[in-house]
Amino acid sequence: MKLTGSQILFRALKEEQVETIFGLPGGAVLDIFDELYRSDVNHILVRHEQGAIHAADGYARASGRVGVCLVTSGPGATNTVTGIANAYMDSIPVVVLTGQVSTMLIGNDAFQEVDITGITRPCTKHNFLVRRVDELGRTIREAFKIARSGRPGPVLIDLPKDMMQSTADVETLSHALTYPEERQEPIEESCARALWLVRKAKKPLLFVGGGVILGKASEELRAFVRKLDLPVISSLMGLGAYPGTDPRWLGMVGMHGTYYANMAISHCDLLIAVGVRFDDRVTSKLDAFAPHAQIVHIDIDPTSIEKMVKTHVGIVSDCRPALQTLNRMLDEDPSMVPGERTRAWLEQVAKWKAKMPLTYHPGERIKPQHVIERLYKLTRGEAIVTTEVGQNQMWAAHYYHFDHPNTFISSGGLGTMGFGLPAAIGAQVACPDRVVVDIAGDGSIQMNIQEMATAVHYGLPVKVIILNNRYLGMVRQWQELFYGRRYSQTDLDHGPNFVKLAEAYGARGFRAEKPEDVDPTLRAALEAQGPVILDFQVEPEEGVYPMVKPGASLTEMDLGNGKVLAGSAVPEKVGAV
């Protein structure tokens, strides 16, 4: 029996248990979409290819599975590049299927031809150009294996039109994988060395990142914390890995980290970093980062260890087996648990937490922090929250408390505006019974606002909360702090009427202008059956605080309202610490 390339493609996708594809058709992929017509794969028709890749990304983050998008050649393929780079930076497993001109035309500047494998080579984990139809099935299998194994990431498969039309005998299809099996190196010795440092530590601190969520290690992490009674901080990508309502939780660390998280990392004597890559927004001034600490670093990617900070014990492993090994060793030898040695440290951390909690000052205008707080209360902390990028992202990270993994979905490493709405669509498709909310700014939401049509088309009840300050808010804040309040090209006063825009798309629209409008507006939106846009007219020049200016140490925090903490990393006197 012979199958066309398009038939082989869908057969391979079925073997990979792909249920949903996000895409947009075009000339080079017409044969694929014709086969899709006869397939039982669920296809979500987006309105822009960037929406397709971001939706596949959001689907992957919410479901823990590989996301898939399908686009045509030329501009269809190039429109996915930002989303591919975004997934690459945040280690998200997606497979991108791009159309290509026929093999005989490649290299001849044919209509809608681009070298998409060459363009995306720096921002994919791997990519393929299919030149033989009998290798297509194996290529699909390899792409999925590469995307989800080791440190996950995006994989692109370029599909020439003639390869989709050509046929191969099903009995001769190659299924043998050439991608080598990744082997877990023995980690018992390095885990034992790490616990020896724990045994001696008086001020231990646990730093968790997105690797814990990607590695499905949240339960093991929580058991580890219970055994050692450690305070916990996280990166932006690590939100949800550990319960945000737990007393041990200190919040996010770094440029916009909490006062107490930044103080804890600056005074600890042991930092156990799990699934993090020490991004510059976390470390700030490198030679002042965790200056008193020995560092244990657990990461699946060996190139991440020692890349940014000096590591005293490196454990090259996925987070789950590493934490399982550490927990087993602690059970076998309880003497490694610090116990009373860390009591003074825990008391100091509690004092920092009580001294400078996250706060803002209510006024006559709506404060964006208040909107997030009320959203958290009204959803009981059970929503899946996606964000755009900028101030809205930081307020969401601070004021919505994430108790579960895969519930905070945001562009971390690349900082991609326009990510939140299509990511919310992907998350809603993955989790149809969950409340999904995109927290947005009036600037970033307009970068992919066309995907409201997608949400309406498929009846996806995503709620878009726009914190409308009529600025490119984070850039404006930097101009306020570092450029003498010269607001160059950040004024968005001539924005659309978002309520009318929602209605034009066929969605519901609500607007709130006063603090007392916040609760009824949120309730109305959450009770609505379909997609909703909420326009909150917030304080225009509200800032995100704390803030560490670039190049400063994490103890030098601007706390807002003229309060600047010019701290040091010299430990305060705390008992016998």
- Look at 110-119, 253-262, 334-343, 438-447 and tell me which has the smallest mean pLDDT: 334-343
Read off φ and ψ for residue 314, nearest 5 degrees. -105, 130
Question: So what's the pLDDT on residue 186?
Answer: 86
Checking if the pLDDT of 161 tops 60, the result is yes
Catalytic annotation, pick one of 14, 104, 111, 541 = 111
Contact in structure between 420 and 386 (CB atoms under 8 Å): yes
pTM: 0.95
Tell me if 2-172 shares its fold with 188-355: yes
Catalytic annotation, pick one of 252, 474, 547, 557 = 474
Q: What is the mean pLDDT of residues 483-505?
A: 96
To the query of whether residue 112 is one of the catalytic residues in this protein, the response is yes
Burial class (CB in 10 A: 0-12, 13-18, 19+), 492: middle
Checking if the pLDDT of 575 tops 80, the result is no
Neighbours of 249 (CB within 10 A): 20
d(CA 414, CA 87): 9
d(CA 20, CA 44): 7
Checking if the pLDDT of 566 tops 90, the result is no
d(CA 74, CA 28): 9
Question: So what's the pLDDT on residue 173?
Answer: 62
Rg (C-alpha) for the chain, rounded Å, is 25
- pLDDT, averaged across the chain: 94
Checking if the pLDDT of 244 tops 60, the result is yes
To the query of whether residue 2 is one of the catalytic residues in this protein, the response is no
To the query of whether residue 474 is one of the catalytic residues in this protein, the response is yes
To the query of whether residue 111 is one of the catalytic residues in this protein, the response is yes
Catalytic annotation, pick one of 16, 35, 49, 539 = 49
Residues 6 or more apart from 99 whose CB is under 8 A from it? Answer: 26, 27, 28, 29, 32, 71, 72, 73, 76, 77, 159, 161
To the query of whether residue 49 is one of the catalytic residues in this protein, the response is yes
pLDDT in tens, 315-328: 999 999 999 999 99
CATH 3.40.50.1220 fits 188-355, yes or no: yes
Question: So what's the pLDDT on residue 571?
Answer: 38
pLDDT in tens, 390-431: 999 999 999 999 999 999 999 999 999 999 999 999 999 999
Domain ranges of the chain: 2-172, 188-355, 368-537
CATH class, 368-537 region: alpha beta
CATH topology of domain 2-172: Rossmann fold (3.40.50)
Checking if the pLDDT of 473 tops 60, the result is yes
Q: What is the mean pLDDT of residues 28-38?
A: 97
Residue burial 280-294, b: 16+ Cβ < 10 Å; e: rest: ebbbbbeebbbbebb
The H or E element spanning position 394 is: helix 391-399
pLDDT in tens, 48-105: 999 999 999 999 999 999 999 999 999 999 999 999 999 999 999 999 999 999 999 9
Contact in structure between 391 and 444 (CB atoms under 8 Å): no
Residues 6 or more apart from 180 whose CB is under 8 A from it? Answer: none
pLDDT in tens, 264-292: 999 999 999 999 999 999 999 999 999 99
Catalytic annotation, pick one of 125, 161, 353, 463 = 161
Question: So what's the pLDDT on residue 389?
Answer: 97
Question: So what's the pLDDT on residue 183?
Answer: 66
